Amino acid sequence: MAFTKKLVGKDYATAKLLLRNGRIYHLHSRLIYRAVGRQNLRNRSEHSLEYIHTKLAILHFVLAHLDYRYFETEAEKVKYFCSKLGLNKGILPSKRYSGAVRDKTTDRYFVDKFPLFFAPESSLSLVVTFSFVDPGLMTLASFETHLLAYGTLFAALPLLRFVCIATCSTHFESARKLFLSITQKAPSIDPGEQVLRYFTLRKVWEAKQYGNLIDDDLEFLNRATKQFNDALTNIRYYQWLQGHVSSDIIRAEFRDLAPKQEVFFRT
């Protein structure tokens, strides 16, 4: 009590009622945050009670799983998916913010800041685990919005691990059904069409017809060259190029060869 009275008395923190008998102390002093090298952390700002509930739920989860290896910053997350996994930055969940300068905008990624981590207790420890934290709302609307925002990233992963975190289990079963219904839809990207596009653009590139390629084509070709860098694809390319196999055969073959996504959901 003496500690919290001192915080509030020096205007380092404010107190808010929680439920009937509880209080939440919001530490907002720049002096305190500067002491740990986090003077610009957004947690100093005034926030809604829903935001605070969410942050407290995240704190409880992290304290209960201190052996997990968490991605702390936006930069770490972007680097992992783009540099480590070779994914296009455009498929990451993002939000565009207007800057102080007119017509200047900034794209920020993973703005929800839900835990993203490697779980060591699983044989799949090298696979990242995504999460959603329910602030205690009586609806799954925010969960659905979250899943849709991450949809393109989820679809690009051959193995998807996800944990739904909440302070009560009321919506767990409904959340599981919603998660599976959204993530197990037929993929919007046809692997057969992707390979055919790669073959077509590669043919143009090798013929040195660079003027027929736009920036989007070059970006796709660069990614596809890394993605389809295997003997089978190379053999099929030359067979297709020489007219020994048709586009329909290529389309069907690579569609069947595409690995089926594995999905793991827990609460």
Contacts of 59 (CB under 8 A, 6+ apart): none
Could you tell me whether strands 105-109 and 117-118 are parallel, antiparallel, or unpaired per DSSP bridges? unpaired
**Which tens digit of pLDDT belongs to each residue from 233-259?**
899 999 999 999 999 998 888 877 666
Contact, 94 vs 109, CB < 8 A? Answer: yes
DSSP tag of 245: S
Mean pLDDT of the residues in the chain = 87
**What tens digit of pLDDT does each residue of 37-65 get?**
887 777 778 888 788 889 889 999 999 99
pLDDT of 125 higher than 70? no
Q: Is 137 exposed, middle or buried (0-12, 13-18, 19+ CB in 10 A)?
A: middle
Average pLDDT over residues 2-23: 87
* Each residue's pLDDT tens digit, 140-151: 899 999 999 998
pLDDT in tens, 142-201: 999 999 999 889 988 888 999 999 988 888 999 999 999 988 765 556 778 889 999 999
CA distance 25 to 28: 9
